Amino acid sequence: MIQQFVKEIVSIAEASLGGLYGRSALLIGSEERRCPYLAQLQKAGMAQVYEEEHFQNLSLLLPHVQLLLNLPDPALPVQRAAQLQAATVIQACSGRRTPLVIFDLGETSSIEDLVGLLPPVCLYTPDDLRRILSRTKVQIA
């Protein structure tokens, strides 16, 4: 469901960060799921967009980005081991001076809830996005 709202998601990210121009992002997911977001983020003037299939390089890349879009495959079940853990984000955000906006763009949550409680992080869960986008749909109609 969320994949059909690429422009709206990027617009929310832009508002959350006070603009995307000159900022950096990390897209995690298959190339097919990343591609529409990559195009929109580049159009918005992002300085750097990193792309990964899985979380394995997250610790190295997270300190360099202000936006993280997690795009898990809806056909695969989310297992606890496959979730983005708060401990990983804490380690990668050590000494961070800028906010980190994270969008969990799966059908169900694939990011540990505690991530949203970390001081430098603003987490949009699938439920948050469904509520926001349902209001957007009503306003557009």
Q: Is 18 left (phi over 0), alpha (psi -120 to 50) or beta?
A: left
pLDDT 10s digits, 68-81: 999 988 776 655 44
Task: Retrieve residue 57's tokens.
Answer: 């390089």
Predicted TM-score (pTM) of this structure: 0.87
pLDDT 10s digits, 2-58: 668 999 999 999 999 999 999 999 999 999 999 999 999 999 999 999 999 988 888
pLDDT 10s digits, 84-121: 888 888 887 777 888 899 999 988 888 888 898 888 89
